[in-house]
Each structure stands twice: as structure tokens, then as C-alpha cells.
Amino acid sequence: MKKNHENYKELILRLAKTDFKLRYHGSVLGYVWAILKPLLLFLILNFVFSSVFNFKNMGIPYYTLDLLTGLLIFSFFAEGTSAGIASLLSKSQLVTKIYVPRWTIVIASTLNALFVFGMNLIIMIGFFAYYGKAPSIESILMFIFYIMLLYALVVAIAFLLAPLFARFRDIGMIWEVLLSVLMYAAPIIYPLTLLPVHLQKLILFNPIAFIIHFAKQGLIANHFATGGQILLISLGVGVVLGISFMIFRKNERNVAEYL
């Protein structure tokens, strides 16, 4: 049979563009809000931990950059997964009244978080410039690689949970709680080096923690994970993505009946 949609890329981009327009439409500051949210959280945390707990004097000179980078990466992860999980439900018309490949809907919904993250990079660059910190070329390349890896993880989680969310609405709540757990399980507001060594190793088993830690370590301290570690996590994320896509293809068949 002939395919109805030859051009998935255009379909995904158009859906994502619409999402973006709608999200910040009708608010005066527009997408500035998208940046302001993590920025405000950053300012509060920065005040608390720099001035009150004073991580700066505990051997972490660039705590502010550390915190900002970690927070922005995590908010990308949080927004991407939340939007991806809710995608089939929020665009239920595209599922129940028409056939478009459902995976395009999921991908399109996660893209918005990637756009916003791109915007946030401008702020990050500003802070790095202010503190006079110039990351090395290889650390920037690694940073981009880590973001791609994290995006793959976002998509994998969205594939896994979006059809389930259509059936069980409390998946959304559970994920919200899980996100705040994940945030504290990753070295974002505390530097990893503050923990006992055996705990550090344990925490790095969490791929999100691994990605966040080494992404910012590269930029700030020019310190990298070993090649073996990188290979392992890439393989791990790849396998998870593959499996979750297969599960998605199985689950999507009946998803229209639950919406």
C-alpha cells in the first residue's frame, strides 16, 4: 500500500512548531517564560547554596556554573519526558480521528523541550562569559553528544509511558514524583565530589546522573569519562530506546480505544 505520509520530518516539525506557538501564545513575554522558569529556580538555589551552605569554599570554585548547567540539562529532561508522556492524550484527536504514525506525535511533543533548551544555552553562554570560563572544543563536542544521548533517553521514556498514560492517568502523577526524586538523585544542586566515593560510583549508575555529571564536568573542569564508560552508556541508551520503541509499536495498536 502507498504510504499516506511520505515526509515524516515535515509532519513532526509542523506539529512541534504548532506546539511552540500555542504554548507561549497570548503571554506578553512569550517564550521568555520558558527560560525564566529554570532561571528563577537557579537563582534561588544559587543563593541558598552559595551564600548559606557556601559550596564555593568547599573546593568547588565554579559552583554557580555547575548548578546552572545541571539545572538546565535536568529541566530539559523533565520537560521533554512530561510532554512526551502526555503527547498521545493531549493530541488525542490525531490518534482517534485520523491515522498518522503515532511515533511522530510523541517525537514532535518532545522536540519543544529541545528548542527551549537551545534558548537556554544563550543564558549559559552568558554566565560562562561572565565568569571568564572558556570550555575546550572537545568538552563542547562531548556536551552536544551527551545532550543527544539524553534526548534519546527522553524519547525512550516517552515511547514507553505515553501509551500507558492513555490508559492510566496516574502515570502522569507518578512521573512527576519520580522526577523530583531523580533530580536529587543526580548531582545537580550538590557536587558529586561532596559524596563518599562508594556513593559516587553508585550514583553514576543512573544514566541521567552520569550524563549530567560528565556534561558539566567537561565544560567546567575539562574532566571526561573514560572511553569504556561512554561506550557502555551509549550502548545502554541505544538498547533501551530500541526496546521501548518495540513496546510502543505493540501498545500503540490499541491506544485509540483508550483515549
Partner 1 sequence: MRYKETKKNPKAAIIIKDVSKSFIVPHEKVNTLRGVFTGLFKKNQYDILHALKNISFNIKKGEFIGIVGRNGSGKSTLLKILAGVYTAGSGSVFVDGAISPFLELGIGFNPELSGRDNVYLNAIVLGLSEKEIDEKFDEIVEFSELGRFIDQKLKNYSSGMNMRLAFSVAIHANRDILLMDEVLAVGDSNFQSKCITEFMKHRAQGRTIIFVTHDIGSVQKYCDRAILLRNGELVKMGIPEDVCNAYIQQNMEDEQVRMTMEQSHRDHKPAKIILKKSVEILKADFIDETGDTRQVFETGEIFAIRISFKINKPVSILNIGVGIHAISGGQVFGCNTQMDGYLIDLSKSEITFKLNEMPILKGDYYLNVVCFGEVEQDYYDVKPQFKNLKIYTSGHKYRYKGILDIDHSWEG
For the bound state, the minimum distance from the C-beta of residue 75 to partner 1, rounded and expressed in Å, comes to 25
Is residue 150 within 8 Å of 211, Cβ to Cβ? yes
Of 67-75, 139-147, 184-192, 248-256, the segment contacting partner 1 by CB under 8 A is 248-256
Residue 11 interacts with partner 1 (CB under 8 A)? yes
Residue 33 interacts with partner 1 (CB under 8 A)? no
The CA-atom distances, in angstroms, between 81 and each of 76, 153, 174 are 8, 9, 12
For the bound state, the minimum distance from the C-beta of residue 114 to partner 1, rounded and expressed in Å, comes to 20
Residue 2 interacts with partner 1 (CB under 8 A)? yes
For the bound state, the minimum distance from the C-beta of residue 110 to partner 1, rounded and expressed in Å, comes to 18
Residue 152 interacts with partner 1 (CB under 8 A)? no
Hey, what amino acid is at 196? Answer: P
Of residues 26 and 196, the one with the C-beta less far from partner 1: 26
Residue 137 interacts with partner 1 (CB under 8 A)? no
Tell me which of 55, 170, 178, 208 binds partner 1, using CB under 8 A: 170
Residue 28 interacts with partner 1 (CB under 8 A)? no
Tell me which of 33, 47, 99, 184 binds partner 1, using CB under 8 A: 99
Of residues 11 and 114, the one with the C-beta less far from partner 1: 11
> In angstroms, rounded to a whole number, what is the distance separating the alpha carbons of residues 77 and 85?
12
Q: Any residues with CB less than 8 A from the CB of 233 and at least 6 apart, and which?
A: 149, 207, 210, 211, 225
The 3-state DSSP class for residue 223 equals coil
Kindly state the DSSP code that residue 49 receives in the 8-state scheme: I
> In angstroms, rounded to a whole number, what is the distance separating the alpha carbons of residues 112 and 13?
10
Count of other CB atoms within 10 angstroms of residue 196: 8
Region 172-211 residues binding partner 1, contact defined as CB under 8 A: 174
Residue 169 interacts with partner 1 (CB under 8 A)? yes
Of 33-41, 52-60, 97-105, 204-212, the segment contacting partner 1 by CB under 8 A is 97-105
Tell me which of 20, 145, 245, 258 binds partner 1, using CB under 8 A: 258
Residue 27 interacts with partner 1 (CB under 8 A)? no
Query: What are 188-195's contacts with CB under 8 Å, separation 24+?
Result: 188/67, 188/70, 188/71, 188/74, 188/212, 189/45, 189/49, 189/67, 189/70, 189/71, 190/49, 190/55, 191/55, 191/60, 191/63, 191/66, 193/59, 193/60, 194/55, 194/58, 194/60
> 2-19: buried (b, 16+ CB within 10 Å) or exposed (e) per residue?
eeeeeeeeebbeebbeeb
Region 48-87 residues binding partner 1, contact defined as CB under 8 A: none
Residue numbers of the site for partner 1 (CB under 8 A)? 1-7, 10-11, 14-15, 18, 21-22, 25-26, 91, 93-100, 167-171, 174, 253-254, 256-258
